[in-house]
Each structure stands twice: as C-alpha cells, then as structure tokens.
Amino acid sequence: MTTLIDGKPGESISILDRGFQYGDGIFETMAVANSEPLLWDRHLHRFLHGTARLSLKAPSVDLLRREAEQVCRGNERGVLKIILTRGITGRGYAPNMDAATTRAVSLLPWPDYPARLRTDGVNVQFCRNLITRHPVLAGLKHLNRLEQVLARMELKNGCTEGLMQDETGHIIEGTMANIFIVSGGALLTPNLEHSGVDGVMRGLVLERARALSMDCRVTELTREIILGADEVFLTNSLIGIWPVRQIESQDYPVGRITKQIQDAIRDAIVAD
C-alpha cells in the first residue's frame, strides 16, 4: 500500500478523526491500469457531489489528481481509494465547519478476481439485512457501511454477492455492486433516489446502453421481477460486469445483452 495523508506519506490517522468516530466522510474506489485511474472524471464528479451533499470542504481537483498520479505511478494494476473525512473536531456530532478535512489517497493491491467470474458469472442470494432509505445519503459513497457489512456477513458458501432490499421490499443493489436485469428486451436497474450507491459503472452502462439504442429504465425492482428476468448482471468499477448465473434456485444464462454491454464497456475496465 502507498498512501498519502493530506499529501504526506503515512498510514495512520488520529482516533479523533471524524471518519473513525462517526464515519463522517466519503470515499471513492477506482480501478488503476498502467498507472492510470480509470473513469477518473466520473469518480471525481460523484466525489464532488458527495462533498456538496454532506457540506464537506472539497479539496482542489488539481491537488487530488496530482496525489492520485503520485500513488498510482509505476503500478500496472491496482485500486485507487480516496477517503475524505470532516477531520478532527471536538467530541460531539456538531462539526466545526472551519476545521480542515482529512484526505487519504491510497493505492491498494488489485483484487485479482478470477477471470471466469466475467465469463461464466456468479451465484447470488437475497439478504435479510435491509438497506435503509435516507434521501440525503442516498446515492453517496459515504463511510457508514455497517448495513453492507451485515449483509455481506450473511453470504452462504458459493455466493459471491447478496442483494439488499429496503423496507418497502424493493431490491436496491448488491452489497458491493449495482444490479441490472434484462426483461422483455429492456434493460432495467433500480431507482437509487432513496438508498444505494450511485455506481460509476452503473452510470457508464446506462450511457453506453442508450448509445446502443437499448430501452433503458431506472425503475423499481422487486424480488419477483428479478427472479423472472431473462438476464441479470452486476456492475462496479473494479469488477466491470459480472453476469449472474443463479439467484437462490433460479438459473440465468449469460445472455446476449449482457455480453453486448460487456463489450461496450471494455475500454473502461482492467483487462483480465
């Protein structure tokens, strides 16, 4: 791991940091290929949206880019993770709006997911642990991730991902990936207005699918709709697209549209 904390090499932060005390911050995780963070502009856009939504002071875009380049340099593959927290203030939830933020920019090892996950697909289950609805936090990649940790702990042997539903019974996403289904020729993905992470790869998939004139719909998906789908796949910036082969006892093919979209985003992922 190579990390810059507020621009200086380091690997630790104060226990008084609000990131540690309250999860008061946001993060970004992106794939790095040949020393380059992929989809940088899109990640930066979501990051800045997160800072605005949480009233976090955003660092300068140039500074962030320089630090990202510094930790990525010389790395053929890796994961670039940027964490921004509200820094150190006194005890209590009230933030000091003048306090400096804490910025951690790290290059982490590439996860080396088996290549067959992209070709042959993965098994998925439904999770009992809920993902909650919160209009201000919805869409953000913030540091409060206990819901995902709890859901991830439910995964049975052989399952690579778990799908999370909100209190109203709508499936929102996986613990670490967004979900798409193909149904009657249309591409559907859950509405993230109330909860979930607005994935950068999800955004790219929607854009490229529309460019291919596919019928794309951001809508509400239930367990039943997903179980009745023709194709299902998962997306995130590191995995790219993983076809889903099985959910509980329902089988799916690695379908034509899934493969077409995998082809359409090939420039934006780390090659196997």
Near a second copy by CB under 8 A: residue from 2, 70, 144, 222: 144
Where does this chain touch a second copy (CB under 8 A) — which range of 66-74, 128-136, 179-187, 221-229? 128-136
| Binding flag, residue 91, a second copy (CB under 8 A) | yes
Near a second copy by CB under 8 A: residue from 68, 104, 221, 264: 104
The residue count for the chain: 272
Phi, psi angles (nearest 5°) of residue 33: -130, 130
Which residue lies nearer to a second copy by CB, 23 or 255? 23
Q: Which residues pair with 187 in a beta bridge?
A: 182, 216
Q: Which amino acid is at 107?
A: L
Distance in angstroms (rounded) separating the CA atoms of residues 82 and 61: 13
Near a second copy by CB under 8 A: residue from 55, 60, 157, 249: 55
Distance in angstroms (rounded) separating the CA atoms of residues 71 and 44: 16
In the three-class reduction of DSSP (H, G, I as helix; E, B as strand; rest coil), residue 56 is classed as: coil
Where does this chain touch a second copy (CB under 8 A) — which range of 10-18, 68-76, 181-189, 197-205? 10-18
Q: How far apart are the first and last CA of the chain?
A: 22
Interface with a second copy (CB under 8 A):
1, 3, 5, 11-24, 27, 29, 54-55, 79, 81, 83, 86, 91-95, 104, 106, 108, 111, 129-130, 132-137, 142-153, 155, 167, 175-176
